A = this chain, B = another copy of it.
């Protein structure tokens, strides 16, 4: 038997162990695997191989007389080298698009639906990290006086994102003044990234010779105020009940409490974590994460990016116990991300 043959067999056995464990939550013994292999190998041989896999750090035994359980490293190896990702058929993707296609036009509504649909579909806690206007460029900004000392500032980005913020203003502003200011903003600032608006206006203000000095100053105050409350990105989170009902957590209420505390109080941390590992490469799998978020050390999350006009815009993903059906769920998350990209780009062109 060649070296690669033996390696292949080992991988196959690791795969079977992981799949059996994921399905049953029970440590997997040599006999079960032998049975599944239809007598091509005896339990004793399987045991030898399992011993090797344990030495290499892919498996471990909860106790002497128990079967084997995958380690983080085992899962990781499985995800990266062993499992096959089934891609969704185009019919499945179309069905999915029907599911999330909202009648309304607001991006927020779409992301919310995507998140709920993903949770419902995978029976796992699902999340969406969504972009906000702050990541795009100005298409249009409208100022609507509301009452005497308030101004509703509507920010429209070139990728259909919309945000509106109420801003307090010291001196009252008439509708005409608001329109003049709006005209100024919409001729001078269109096309700039929202993230650079403030610094750009500040620069113009320093060069005091600007003939629009007063307009620049006033827009700066308002936009600074409006943009300060606009987050960089938004997190949608749904289906937490699925997380609670996982057998590995239902015996550890302490763990569940920690996780929920984390969702409530550490959203920034959580976002940073998801964002940090997300890049253009596509689907990502994170198995456990002791360093960044100890409360989620017993969880895995997997997420895939979606794009607007070819640019990375955000990601969709799920969060579950380490013991999850990676092959199936990867396909689903990946499919959903593609689907979101499709829908967003249909919007773009409409």
Query: Which of A149, A160, A250 is packed against the most chain B CB atoms within 10 Å?
Result: A250
- Flag A13-50 by CB within 8 Å of B: 1 or 0 each: 00000000000000000000000000000000000000
Residues of B within 8 A of A250 (CB): 253-254, 256-257
Q: In the complex, what residues of B have CB within 8 A of residue A256's CB?
A: 244, 250, 253, 256
In the bound complex, residues from chain B placing their C-beta under 8 Å from that of A154 are 144, 146, 152, 154, 164
Q: Cβ of B253 and Cβ of A104 under 8 Å apart? A: no
Secondary structure at chain A's binding surface: helix, strand, loop or mixed? Answer: mixed
Q: How far is B260's CA from A244's CA once the two chains are assembled, in angstroms? A: 8
This chain: copies in complex: 2
A229 an interface residue at 8 Å Cβ cutoff?
yes
Question: Which parts of A134-160 form the interface with B (CB within 8 Å)?
Answer: 139-140, 142, 144, 146-147, 149-150, 152, 154, 156, 160
**Which residues of B lie under 8 Å from residue A139 when comparing CB positions?**
147
Q: Which residues of the partner chain B approach A240 to less than 8 Å between Cβ atoms?
A: 260, 264
Residue in B146, B150, B162, B263 whose beta carbon sits within 8 Å of that of A166 in the complex: B162
Instruction: Please measure, in the bound complex, the distance between the C-alpha atom of A261 and the C-alpha atom of B139, giving whole angstroms.
Output: 40
Minimum Cβ distance to chain B for residue A308 (Å): 15
Contact residues in B for A257 (Cβ distance below 8 Å): 241, 244-245, 250
Please, which residue of chain B has its CB at the minimum distance from the CB of A260? B241
- Interface residues in A224-245 (C-beta closer than 8 Å to B): 229, 238-241, 244-245
A249 at the interface (CB under 8 A from B): yes
**A interface, how many residues as a size bin?**
35 or more
| Interface membership of chain A positions 246-270, coded 1 if the CB is closer than 8 angstroms to chain B and 0 otherwise | 0001110110110011011000000
CB-based contact B140/A106 at 8 Å = no
Residue of B nearest to A247 (CB): B253
**Residue A105 is within 8 A (CB to CB) of chain B in the complex:** yes
The verdict on A342 contacting chain B, using a C-beta distance below 8 Å, is no
Check if B105 sits within 8 Å of A168, measured CB to CB. Answer: yes
B264 touches A253 (CB 8 A): no
A sample of 27 inter-chain contacts (CB < 8 A) reads: A104-B165, A139-B147, A140-B146, A146-B154, A146-B162, A147-B156, A147-B160, A149-B350, A152-B154, A152-B162, A152-B164, A164-B164, A239-B264, A240-B260, A240-B264, A241-B261, A241-B263, A244-B253, A244-B256, A244-B257, A244-B260, A245-B253, A245-B254, A249-B253, A250-B254, A250-B256, A253-B253
Chain A: residues with CB nearer than 8 A to chain B? 104-106, 139-140, 142, 144, 146-147, 149-150, 152, 154, 156, 160, 162, 164-166, 168, 229, 238-241, 244-245, 249-251, 253-254, 256-257, 260-261, 263-264, 350
